[in-house]
């Protein structure tokens, strides 16, 4: 069945697949007599301006990148209430499919593929575009075995304010996502693509993802906290230089990674010549301390500076206060920051930086100060209650702003929504609900936004149906 939003010039041949935001069709452009891939925005998202804007962002991002290794955009259109994107049709396999059919790639093959992806992403970065969803699924070989980078669905301008994206969603795929995307950092730059390309490199060379887990939330927690497993436990033939570059690509702190694709390309070329890259700057220390500590050919770890041991009871109280704004991820963050902070002030400030609203940050810092002084603390008084429901309206924009009060729901209803979402995406659900409640103007708006975070289409449908029965 042909989507109603498509012009008559497109003849639908078949469906290629579906994703979080829409369906991709195999089609023929009758006017230009060429076959194309058509991405059609789902009807449930077409009525939400933020999703339409994100769809448009993908079109503009991809259309601005004219390179043979990047899938080309032909047309972005709107007909009635529908939106579509016409792009180059790539006939061939994704690297994920290649892995399933053939098994893991050799070190040489992996380095060649990662070098090509590195150079392709550098083109996007020079144009001010960060991909933000680098993974084997989004890399393809066409029928001529030429490399293609696809799906700029999460792409974002380096200069775009994060508030213009889908607020509160970490964006990315759990197996390949960077730590800063998981934490919802305000600045997501090219170093996030470096990390995800590193996770892809691990996957290609071993046939396994770096971190397995029972849920998306579990996998993301491991990205934040667990040392990167030595790939030689799976593929013993990998060299020390390969592991050194991989460790630097996947350093948890962006400051410890390759800062751009150009510096990564230099080390990849050195490896491909059979030589070891030079170990320079602070990165090797971070890699040795946190990545392959048992690998003798990476050299001994440098002495670790002494750090403060915080009182467990105080950290537990801080975690409780932070959880009011971040949900269960608070415990993960406190544990991480406590292992690095030099004193209580640094701990407090670093944790507060992850709280989006300034009033909430101030209230949290006051609670931290009271804990440091040994005083009693009570629940933090802010504009947001513990369920995340707004108790005061947020100023809306647009012609209908006056008629669009902020969404207010009973705590029991919010808890039920959190439960329904948790069944599908794990404990990260509370964080997402808390954040989206601050921006939603209706239950339908909230439901649509939350449903977009559910990867499985059937789970999305059942979630939407279940929420509609709550009121």
The full DSSP string for 433-459 is HHHHHTT-SSHHHHHHHHHTT--SHHH
Share of the chain above pLDDT 70, in %: 74
* Domain architecture of the chain: domains with CATH: 10-88 (3.30.200.20), 95-298 (1.10.510.10), 312-372 (no CATH), 401-468 (no CATH)
How would residue 363 be classed by pLDDT, with cut points 50, 70 and 90?
confident
Cα–Cα distance, 253 to 178 (Å, whole number): 9
pLDDT at 41 over 80: no
DSSP type of residue 227: P
Share of the chain above pLDDT 90, in %: 23
**Whole-model pTM?**
0.59
* Per-residue pLDDT reduced to its tens digit, 4-27: 556 778 888 988 877 656 788 889
Mean pLDDT of 264-286: 74
pLDDT value for 254: 95
CB 30 within 8 A of CB 6: no
Cα–Cα distance, 245 to 265 (Å, whole number): 10
384 backbone dihedrals φ, ψ, rounded to 5°: -115, 130
Cα–Cα distance, 104 to 102 (Å, whole number): 7
pLDDT value for 190: 94
pLDDT at 44 over 80: no
pLDDT value for 402: 41
Nearest residue to 121 via CA among 205, 194, 201, 174: 194
* Per-residue pLDDT reduced to its tens digit, 311-331: 888 898 888 888 777 665 677
How would residue 102 be classed by pLDDT, with cut points 50, 70 and 90?
confident
Q: What is the pLDDT of the chain when averaged over all its residues? A: 76
Q: How far is CA 33 from the centre of its chain?
A: 37
Mean pLDDT of 402-410: 64
Mean pLDDT of 406-434: 79
How would residue 180 be classed by pLDDT, with cut points 50, 70 and 90?
very high
Name, in order, each residue with C-beta under 8 angstroms of 39's C-beta and a sequence gap of 6 or more. 22, 23, 24, 25, 84, 85, 87
Residue numbers annotated as active site: 133
Residue 47: count of CB within 10 angstroms of its CB: 12
Classify 276 as helix, strand or coil: coil
Classify 34 as helix, strand or coil: strand
* Per-residue pLDDT reduced to its tens digit, 347-362: 888 888 777 567 778 8
pLDDT at 252 over 90: yes
């Amino acid at each position: 069945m042909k989507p109603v939003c498509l012009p008559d010039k497109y003849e639908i041949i078949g469906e290629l697949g579906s994703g979080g935001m829409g369906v991709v069709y195999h089609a023929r452009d009758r006017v230009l007599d060429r076959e194309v891939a058509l991405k059609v925005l789902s009807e449930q998202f077409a009525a939400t301006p933020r999703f339409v804007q994100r769809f448009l962002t993908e079109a503009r991002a991809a259309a601005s990148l004219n390179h043979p290794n990047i899938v080309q955009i032909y047309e972005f259109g709107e007909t009635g209430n529908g939106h579509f994107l016409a792009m180059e049709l790539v006939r061939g396999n994704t690297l994920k499919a290649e892995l399933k059919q053939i098994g893991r790639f050799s070190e040489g093959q992996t380095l060649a593929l990662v070098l090509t992806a590195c150079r392709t992403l550098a083109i996007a970065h020079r144009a001010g575009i960060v991909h933000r969803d680098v993974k084997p699924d989004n890399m393809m070989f066409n029928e001529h075995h030429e490399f293609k980078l696809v799906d700029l669905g999460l792409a974002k301008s380096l200069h775009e304010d994060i508030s213009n994206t889908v607020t509160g969603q970490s964006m990315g795929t759990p197996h390949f996502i960077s730590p800063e995307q998981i934490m919802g950092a305000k600045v997501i730059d090219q170093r996030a693509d470096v990390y995800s390309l590193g996770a892809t490199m691990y996957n290609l060379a071993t046939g396994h993802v770096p971190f397995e887990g029972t849920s998306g939330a579990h996998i993301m927690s491991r990205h934040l906290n667990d040392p990167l497993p030595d790939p030689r436990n799976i593929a013993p033939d990998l060299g020390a230089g390969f592991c050194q570059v991989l460790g630097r690509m996947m350093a948890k702190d962006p400051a410890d990674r390759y800062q751009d694709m150009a510096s990564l390309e230099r080390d990849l070329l050195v490896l491909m010549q059979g030589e070891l890259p030079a170990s320079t700057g602070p990165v090797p220390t971070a890699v040795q301390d946190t990545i392959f500590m048992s690998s003798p050919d990476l050299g001994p770890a440098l002495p670790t500076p002494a750090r403060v041991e915080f009182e467990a009871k105080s950290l537990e109280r801080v975690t409780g206060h932070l959880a009011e704004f971040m949900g269960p991820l608070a415990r993960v963050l406190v544990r991480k920051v406590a292992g690095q902070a030099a004193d209580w002030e640094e701990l407090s400030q670093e944790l507060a930086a992850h709280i989006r609203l300034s009033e909430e940050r101030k209230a949290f810092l006051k609670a931290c100060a009271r804990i440091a002084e040994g005083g009693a603390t009570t629940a933090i008084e802010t504009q947001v209650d513990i369920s995340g429901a707004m108790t005061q309206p947020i100023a809306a924009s647009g012609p209908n702003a006056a008629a669009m009060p902020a969404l207010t729901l009973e705590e029991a209803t919010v808890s039920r929504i959190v439960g329904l979402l948790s069944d599908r995406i794990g404990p990260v659900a509370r964080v997402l609900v808390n954040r989206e409640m601050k921006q939603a103007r209706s239950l339908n708006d909230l439901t649509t936004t939350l449903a977009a975070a559910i990867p499985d289409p059937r789970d999305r449908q059942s979630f939407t149906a279940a929420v509609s029965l709550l009121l």
